[in-house]
Every structure is written in structure tokens, then in C-alpha cells.
Amino acid sequence: MVHHPIEPLDFEANEQAINRANLREVEAEVANRSDRLATRIQHFSDQFGIPPEDFWRDLDANPTGPLAATLAKEARRQNIHEVAAADYVCRLPHVQRFQKLKSTGREALYVTGDGQIATGAALGNAPRPSKSIDFQWLTGGVTCYAAQKYTREGGGNQDNQFIELETLLRNFLPRRNNGVALFILVDGPYYTAARLAQLRGLVRQQTPFSYVTSVNELMPILQGIAGH
């Protein structure tokens, strides 16, 4: 089978493209006075005491201007980075049976403290041992599980997400039975050399392996697993 080259994933460019599309959507919403836009305008009207008709007048005059950008859907709130990563990984050579997994509920998958993969149903009412796994696929007979994050800057929530990734890697360390691999896919300025080193200090370096890598550096690892 001939594999065509896949362009590297540019998270920033993807986000900008979606934001531009969202801004064009506002232009259409202005024309048809959409319910979503009316609700947003009413929210700001109530907050600042500005009559809704003032918003509509400015939007009619410039339906893709600064006010329209403020009222547009924000790309980063649409889970776009996970969607983009999933689309990229599923098209890589050696990736088969790709699945984007449930984040909660009975079908969600977790790494338990002894390195096993358990469903939400199997865990029942017990506390979740880790964040849920985002992706699953098959490469060279190995079932691959992955958690994916794109993060720009630090802060309380972002730092908590970093700790969640550390927990996934720690939980996987005691695993002994083979046939699986765990990937922590991290991208964005938040993942400095120091933070990457911190995560990579927790990887399993014998089978079953775990890995910390960016999405764009995943393919050589998969080639190694597949024996190519």
C-alpha cells in the first residue's frame, strides 16, 4: 500500500481557520437575526445597560468587525485541538481501527493503579483512577491508548491537566502484560523542555512501553512498533 505524505498538524493555523469560519458565521447570523446571536447580545445588554438595538446597528454596519469577533463562537471552546489531533492520527500509516473514545460514562476508559485498562462500567461508583483516555487504535498487533493535550500557557486548570498526565504515566508503570502501549500526546508552548523531561521521567522503557511525544513526532514511533 502506498502512503501519501501527511502534512504536519499546525494547531495554531487550524484554530485561526476555525475562528475565521466562526466570524463568517456571525455575518450570516446578523443577516437572519439568529437566536444564538440575540441571546449573546441580550447577555451583554443586561450586563452593561446598552440597548440591544445599539449592538444590532453596529453589527449591521460591520458584520465581520471587532464587535462581531467578540460575539463569535470561540474556537478553543469547541474542543478543536482534540478533534484536529484525532483527524491527524487516524490518517497516519500503521494506524488501524482508530477510535475517539468517550470522555465519561460507562464506555470511557481509564488506566488503573496497576496499569490495567478499565471501563467506567467496570469501575462502578469507585473514584476514577485517572483522566479518561482520549484515543485508541491498533498498530502492528499492539493496542495503543492515547491521551492528548494542546496547551498554550500555564495556570490552575492547565497545571491540573499536567498532573493528570503524570498520573496516567504513573498508573501505567506497574503494568506487566504486553500487547498494549500508552501515548501521552502533548503540544503547545506550555510543554517546555523541563515539563517534557518531567513527563518522560515516568515512561516505561520496556514492554509494554509508554511514550511522551508531540502529535507530529508520532509516526516514527508507530513505524518502530509496526516493524518498519
Give me the mean pLDDT over the 119-127 stretch: 95
Cβ contact 109:101 at 8 Å: yes
For residue range 181-223, list pLDDT tens digits in order. Answer: 999 999 999 999 999 999 999 999 999 999 999 999 999 999 9
Edge-to-edge strand order for the sheet containing 210-213? 96-100, 135-139, 142-150, 180-187, 210-213
Q: Across all residues in the chain, what is the average pLDDT?
A: 93
Q: Which fold has domain 79-226?
A: Trna Endonuclease; Chain: A, domain 1 (3.40.1350)
In whole angstroms, what is the distance from residue 23 CA to residue 217 CA?
32
The x, y and z cell numbers of residue 46, run together, are 443586561
The x, y and z cell numbers of residue 22, run together, are 466562526
pLDDT for residue 61 is more than 60: yes
Query: Is cis: bond before 208, omega within 30 of 0?
Result: yes
Over the range 76-107, which residues count as b (16 or more CB within 10 Å of their CB) and which as e? eeeebbbebbbebbeebbbbeebebbeeeeee
In whole angstroms, what is the distance from residue 154 CA to residue 168 CA?
20
For residue range 137-174, list pLDDT tens digits in order. Answer: 999 999 999 999 999 876 778 889 999 999 999 999 99
> Could you tell me the end-to-end alpha-carbon distance of the chain, in angstroms, rounded to an integer?
13
- CATH 3.40.1350 residue ranges for the chain: 79-226
Q: Angle CA(37)–CA(41)–CA(44) in degrees, nearest 5?
A: 145
Residue predicted with more confidence, 3 or 19: 19
